[in-house]
Amino acid sequence: MRRVSFLMNKKCTLWSPFFLFLVSAISTTASAKMPLECGTLANHYGPYNYANLEHRRTKLPVVEHAHFTNKVEQLISGESGTIEGDLDYTLRTFPNHHRALAAFSNQERAQKRVNPEYKTGYFTVNCYFLRAIANAPDDPVVYLLYGIYNDRLKLFDKAEENYLKSIELNSKSSSAHYNLGLLYYRMARYDQSLKHAKIAYSRRFPLPGLMNKLKKSGHWN
């Protein structure tokens, strides 16, 4: 079963300047709650908010051109050094960079298949998610990605918590409802799985996998 996330692109919904001011104020407080091993958000460039249109227009291009290129995102090789180094730079500058968070999560997963003791050499992937939340606590895509990350680790309670938070912030997210439905299916919570499957498909979610699972097990109606 493929787990799918919605990553913001140029057509994404963006926040108002006033809202971003509030997020910035909240982020300062939230960053103090991060574990010490996750450092602080202070950085020589940024940190900026990936959901901020002005930040994306004026600050993001230079970061992506030098550090988050296609070959970095696809985990082929680093651009200015190692893959992890370029991802770290991107996430220090834009802590809630959705595609970079997904790429670092995938890099850890791929490397641990080869070496279970793999360390990023920088912060842990879990720390990058905590830093993203501290930087942009009202970004629903970060919680969706964090839910997927915990889901893969079979930390189902944490995955559920983050999927629900993503839905709380954006109840129209078909991807969040779909992934939560998959989680509930694996937990044998079929009524809840069906509920979120119905919502996802009512919002034209394209993959039939969850529906097929529910049909095959006799829980679709």
What is the rounded distance in angstroms from the CA atom of residue 152 to the CA atom of residue 146? Answer: 10
Give pLDDT, residue 221. 85
Decide if pLDDT at 4 tops 70: no
Homologous superfamily of the 139-221 domain (CATH): Tetratricopeptide repeat domain (1.25.40.10)
Per residue in 20-39, pLDDT (tens digit) is 333 333 333 344 478 999 99
Question: 163 phi and psi, to 5 degrees?
Answer: -60, -45
Decide if pLDDT at 13 tops 50: no
- CA 104 to mean position of chain CA atoms: 10
What is the rounded distance in angstroms from the CA atom of residue 102 to the CA atom of residue 158? Answer: 17
Domain boundaries, the chain: 15-137, 139-221
Decide if pLDDT at 6 tops 80: no
